[in-house]
């Protein structure tokens, strides 16, 4: 159990370190970049929404 706890703590600390290292995007945020990222967020929101909807309809049948 201690091994798993140690592994988990190591993993979470690495993830926090990665998040801190890449907290600020380095790409120049031109209007085109912002539009593309907004489109991607909308696109993924829609697709994941469809997946969740399908999952709910399948489970409820």
Partner 1 sequence: MNIYSNLFYKYRKSAKAIRMFLVVAGPGIIVMVADNDAGGITTYTATGAKYGFHLLWFLILLGPVAYYVQEMTVRLGAVTKRGHAEAIFHAFGSFWGWFSLLDLILTDWLTMITEFIGMTAALSIFHVPAYITVLICWTLMGTMIMVGRYWTWEKVALIFCIGNLIYIPCAFMVHPSIKDIVYNSVIPHFPPGGFTNDLFFLLMANIGTTIAPWMIFFQQSSVVDKGLREKDIPFGKTDTIIGAFLTVIVAMFLIIVTGKLLLGVPVESAAQAASMLMPTNKYIGTIIGLFDAGFLGAICISLASSWAFGEVFGWAHSLNNKIKEAPWFYAYYFFAIVLAGVVVLIPRAPLVLITLFVQVIATTLLPAALVFLILLLNDEKTMGKYRNSLYENIMNIAIVVVIIILSTLYGISTIFPNLFA
Q: Which residues contribute to the site for partner 1 (CB under 8 A)?
A: 14, 18-19, 22-28, 32-33, 36-37, 39-40, 43-44, 47-48, 50-51, 54
Q: Least distance (Å) from partner 1 to the CB of residue 2?
A: 20
Q: Least distance (Å) from partner 1 to the CB of residue 11?
A: 9
Structure tokens at 11: 């993993």
Nearer to partner 1, 8 or 39 (CB): 39
Name the CA radius of gyration of the chain, rounded.
19
């Amino acid at each position: 159990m201690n091994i798993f706890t140690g592994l988990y703590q190591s993993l979470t600390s690495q993830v926090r370190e990665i998040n801190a290292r890449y907290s600020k995007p380095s790409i120049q945020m031109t209007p085109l970049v912002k539009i593309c990222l907004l489109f991607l967020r909308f696109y993924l929101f829609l697709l994941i929404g469809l997946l969740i909807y399908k999952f709910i309809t399948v489970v409820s049948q």
